[in-house]
Amino acid sequence: MKYLKLTELYEQLDSTTKRLEKTKILSDFLKEIKIEEKDILYLLLGRIYPEYDERVLGISSQLAVKAISKATGVNSAEIVKEWKSLGDIGQVAEKISKKKRQATLDKKELSVKKVIENLRAIPELVGKGTVDKKLALITELLTSASPLESKYLIRTLIGDLRIGTQESTIRDAIASAFFEKEKEKDAKETSDSIQEALDKSNDIAEVFEIATKQDLKLLRKIPLEIGKPVKLMLAQKALDIPDGFRALGTPCAIEYKYDGFRMLIHKKGDKVFLYTRRLENVTSQFPEIIDYVKKYTKGESLMIDAEAVGFNKKTKEYRPFQEISQRIKRKYDIEKIQEELPVELNVFDVIYYNGKSLIDEPFKKRSELVRSIIEEKPYKIVCAKQIITDSEKKAEEFYKKALADNQEGIMMKNLDAPYQSGRRVGHMLKMKPNQRELDLVITGAEYGTGKRSGWMSSFIVSCQDGDEFLEIGKVGTGIKEKSEEGLSFEELTKKLTPLIKKEKGRTVEIKPKLVVSITYQEIQKSPTYNSGFALRFPRVTVLRPDRDTADIATLQEIQEDYDIQQKKKVY
């Protein structure tokens, strides 16, 4: 397929904000893709590999400027000036390439195959001369590109496609393109089957290929594979213990809700792989966990769901997430930080064991298996603390014990429920004292003045509604002026600067990547923000490097929290 055809599709998708229109446009396009061209599905999401694959382009905006300059002969300073004016480096590439001065006698028509080949060569480059080699690969494409192709090449390179399309849109387009008859009978079953395949494989091109056979049974049979992470099952909220019992039935399992970070662990023979809930491979960051899994788990192959919790080596007291979160991203001095910030692995589920998927087995059976395959070693690897009860009194006592042990609260689980990866499910509920907390993503900021000059000091946070991010408030409290006191304005500014999409005066638009936990006094109706809501007295509590935009609060959840809040006021 010609790359121009794909970029024309991008333009069509960008021209409408209506989800149904985007789905129809994508559905028609998917019918034209040949099986051997399935990698186009990655490009539809601005990627070049499946979601679980760690290889990324990693091209900075500054390198993109150099590439545009080299391909067009236009001075970098002029490109930067245009960028500040337009706020979109992709549009700059399009505008400048219309009047590029460099001779292009050897210009060739770009194919999608050629684009993918060059882009996939970029992450493989290491060592001396890497930057020049990357520039050569990008320049080769830009030299042959039309203005429209230049626009989307640059946007793809910097990871900012801007067409308002996410995996869920493509999922619905696949359903429309290949399962029209089934969709008419049971739209939810069709959508759920495709979503389940996506959650298990994390490979949209693989799901597309199977979907072209127009057989939902084949999608349901996508296997779990060691070394290929699945999306983790997520919980909804319980107001209190009676509310949890009403929703789940009795008896139910109650476990500690640990103040750590989720970890999906794969083991096959002597090989162990560690993944975060964002599907990031963190195997090299936690050598002690690899050792624990090898020594203290039974079975040739397994996938276990667990929480890594930090503790004080001297006092053995558990430590809050923010104190150990730095281990997730740490690439160097691993042994030193391992000594300073040790973790205990708390295992609470198993979804694959000795070659067999267990996701359709009831939680009671999976939980019993966990306890039979883990040899518990306190402060190394243990099974999650658990009771099974229908007594509100016992549940309340267990809840208080979890809080006394410096954990967040409790999880309540239906004993008969399967494991539903990638979804917030009603058969697993979380309960903690501070229910007025949301995970949100930063989508904008404003630079400070006076002693905060040079730092971003006020941040717009957003929730998610389908493929859109909707603003719900502005927050500046909870952040420190000195880095030694905790999360600082300086640290946030450094993390957000590479994500700037557009600048206007002191305000900037931010690519939605950085997730933060926010506490608040209450949710209010508000015309100020496009979500229709605002948070009263919001406060940043911690960065969540273990979470991405798929984990943030949805508009529906905020509406539900608002409704619950209003009912409490009435009573």
Residue 563 lies in a domain: yes
Amino acid identity at 57 = L
| Pair (383, 442) in one structural domain | no
**Alpha helix (H) residue ranges in 232-285:** 241-248
* Residues sharing a CB contact under 8 Å with residue 247, sequence separation 6 or more, in sequence order: 238, 426, 429
> In a 3-state reduction of DSSP, which class is residue 533?
strand
Sign of the Cα torsion 14, 20, 23, 24 reads negative
Residue 341 clears pLDDT 70, i.e. is over it: yes
- Number of domains composing the chain: 3
Residue 183: predicted pLDDT? 56
Residue 467: predicted pLDDT? 77
| Pair (293, 424) in one structural domain | yes
Residue 484: predicted pLDDT? 80
Residue 232 lies in a domain: no
Residue 254 lies in a domain: yes
CATH for 468: 2.40.50.140
Tokens 């002693």, residue located: 451
Residue 571: predicted pLDDT? 44
Residue 103: predicted pLDDT? 45
Residue 378 clears pLDDT 50, i.e. is over it: yes
CA 202 to each of CA 198, 273, 539: distance values in angstroms, whole numbers, following the listed order: 5, 16, 34
Strands 386-389 and 356-357: unpaired
| Pair (466, 551) in one structural domain | yes
CATH for 399: 3.30.470.30
| Pair (418, 333) in one structural domain | yes
**Percentage of the chain lying above the pLDDT 90 cut:** 71
Residue 463 clears pLDDT 70, i.e. is over it: yes
pLDDT band for position 425 (cuts 50, 70, 90): confident
Residue 186 lies in a domain: no
Q: Which two tokens stand for residue 60?
A: 């900075």
| Pair (426, 446) in one structural domain | no
Question: If you average pLDDT over every residue of the chain, what do you get?
Answer: 91
Worst-scoring range by mean pLDDT, 117-121, 292-296, 561-565? 561-565
Residue 377 clears pLDDT 90, i.e. is over it: yes
d(CA 362, CA 546): 27
Residue 237 lies in a domain: no
Residue 328 clears pLDDT 90, i.e. is over it: no
Residue 457 lies in a domain: yes
Amino acid identity at 23 = T
> In a 3-state reduction of DSSP, which class is residue 326?
helix
Boundary (domain end) residue, out of 399, 431, 463 = 431
Instruction: Please give the average per-residue pLDDT across 329-345, as a whole number.
Output: 89
Q: C-alpha dihedral over 325, 330, 335, 339, to 10 degrees?
A: -20
Q: At what angle do helices 147-157 and 112-121 cross, to 10 degrees?
A: 30
| Pair (410, 538) in one structural domain | no
DSSP 48: S
d(CA 97, CA 353): 55
Tokens 């794969």, residue located: 266
In this predicted model, what pLDDT tens digit does every residue of 73-115 receive, in sequence order?
Answer: 999 999 998 988 888 899 999 999 887 654 454 567 899 999 9
In this predicted model, what pLDDT tens digit does every residue of 168-194 receive, in sequence order?
Answer: 899 999 999 999 876 556 778 888 899
d(CA 80, CA 102): 19
| Pair (322, 467) in one structural domain | no
Residue 569: predicted pLDDT? 58
Amino acid identity at 27 = S
Sign of the Cα torsion 39, 43, 48, 53 reads negative
| Pair (558, 455) in one structural domain | yes
In this predicted model, what pLDDT tens digit does every residue of 254-293 receive, in sequence order?
Answer: 999 999 999 999 999 999 999 998 888 999 999 999 999 9
Closest CA to 427 of 245, 286, 258: 245
**Alpha helix (H) residue ranges in 419-554:** 489-496
DSSP 2: B
Residue 292 lies in a domain: yes
CATH for 100: 1.10.3260.10
Residue 61: predicted pLDDT? 87
Boundary (domain end) residue, out of 405, 431, 457 = 431
d(CA 245, CA 250): 6
CA 329 to each of CA 258, 321, 353, 406, 486: distance values in angstroms, whole numbers, following the listed order: 20, 14, 29, 24, 17
Residue 539 clears pLDDT 50, i.e. is over it: yes
342 with 294: CB under 8 angstroms?
no
Q: Which two tokens stand for residue 305?
A: 């769901």
In this predicted model, what pLDDT tens digit does every residue of 104-161 receive, in sequence order?
Answer: 545 678 999 999 999 999 999 988 889 999 999 999 999 999 999 999 999 999 988 9
Q: How many residues does the chain have?
A: 571
Closest CA to 439 of 540, 343, 351: 540
Domain that holds residue 138: 47-157
d(CA 326, CA 487): 12
| Pair (282, 402) in one structural domain | yes
Residue 188 lies in a domain: no
Q: At what angle do helices 3-14 and 19-30 cross, to 10 degrees?
A: 160
| Pair (316, 396) in one structural domain | yes
| Pair (130, 68) in one structural domain | yes
* Residues sharing a CB contact under 8 Å with residue 382, sequence separation 6 or more, in sequence order: 344, 345, 346, 347, 374, 376
| Residues acting as catalytic residues | 257
Boundary (domain end) residue, out of 386, 406, 431 = 431
Residue 435: predicted pLDDT? 66
Residue 239: predicted pLDDT? 86
Closest CA to 276 of 31, 550, 567: 550
| Pair (301, 419) in one structural domain | yes
Residue 127: predicted pLDDT? 85
Instruction: Please give the average per-residue pLDDT across 38-60, as a whole number.
Output: 92
